Amino acid sequence: MNAKIAATAHSTPKKILSNFDLEKIVDTSDEWIRSRTGIKQRYIVENGEASSDISTKIAEQLLEKSKISADEIDLIIVGTVTPDHYTPSTAALVQKNIKANNAWGFDLSAACSGYIFGLETGSNFIRSGKYKNVMIIGVDTMSSILDFQDRDTCVIFGDGGGGAILQPTKEKCGIIDSILHMDGNGGDYLIVPAGGSRIPASIDSVKNRSHFIKQDGKTVFKYAVKGMAEVSKRILIKNKLSGSDISLFIPHQANKRIIDAAARKCGIEEHKVLINIEKYGNTTAGTIPIAMNEAINEKRINDGDYILLSSFGAGFTWGSMLIKWDSTL
């Protein structure tokens, strides 16, 4: 038995923050941002919007597209580093909102790798034979942890997410393979220092702006280029495939230069690489599911296609996943 993707969806807030808007907030320019990242704009939430609100919209779309009822959902996994609360989980809030009365679930924290890690986790629940409908969501409201005085981070990230319904299949399709990694030695290079048990919230932690995300951009860039490129190449070799066999490469949308390097390493032609970072920025766990749903809507994915996913994120976490597409329900 294998796990296949039966439906996909994505959602973003309505508010757009352009590079020109950021020019009025922080010392930056449209040219500087585009030349270094490829980003032109990003979506950000209004006051009062949170990750569970975006996730609920995704979940409702998934139910409609997969033609199943909320009561048929067995498990909900939400990959996020920006939950509404430390507890309850965002998964619990989604379960309540869509009235998935028979589902249990949990949040998964793997930053930009959250969606791939979630797909791998959910697919193994499917393979156990005990679960028939597993909902996977990758979502982040990064604006909630951005310091808009720090141009090295606030220009990169956006808010949004996407998701999928996993179902069992006996065909040789669906999630074929994955290679996942983590290296905690890289933790300090991309971190929200305060707010957890190490540095609880205090007057000093707020004054020091320690509840915002901090990044050593050059170091993260170096490791991301190496990690995404190598793990993507390895999964192709492992499955006796080459770049020419891949119909679509959907990488984490962190930086166009990182994406280009990974594609070159795998020998994947430019027209087979999905890049939408210019519209959304880096939505962390949301980038890959947003891109995948866009690709389906644009009919860039067809039955029998090999789809390659690749990610790199805080932790460090990184990985790749190989999917053979089958759209039949």
How far apart are alpha carbons 55 and 59 in whole angstroms?
Answer: 6
Q: Which of 2, 133, 154, 252 is catalytic?
A: 252
Rg of the chain taking only CA atoms, in angstroms: 19
* Among candidate residues 177, 179, 172, the one with its CA nearest the CA of residue 304: 172
H-state helical runs in the chain:
19-23, 30-37, 51-66, 90-98, 114-127, 151-154, 203-207, 217-238, 256-266, 277-280, 287-297
From the number of C-beta atoms within 10 Å of its C-beta (0-12, 13-18, 19+), residue 251 rates as buried
Beta carbons of 273 and 263 less than 8 angstroms apart = yes
Furthest CA-CA distance within the chain: 57
* Residue 192 to residue 206: CA distance in whole angstroms: 12
b/e for 120-141, b at 16 or more Cβ within 10 A?
Answer: bbbbebbbeeebebbbbbbbbb
Is-catalytic flag, 154?
no
Q: Is 297 annotated in the active site?
A: no
- Catalytic site residue from 2, 10, 19, 112: 112
Phi/psi of residue 101, nearest 5 degrees: -65, -20
**For residue 250, what is the DSSP state?**
E
10 a catalytic residue: no
- Is the distance from CB of 301 to CB of 247 less than 8 angstroms? yes
Give the residue numbers marked as catalytic: 112, 252, 282
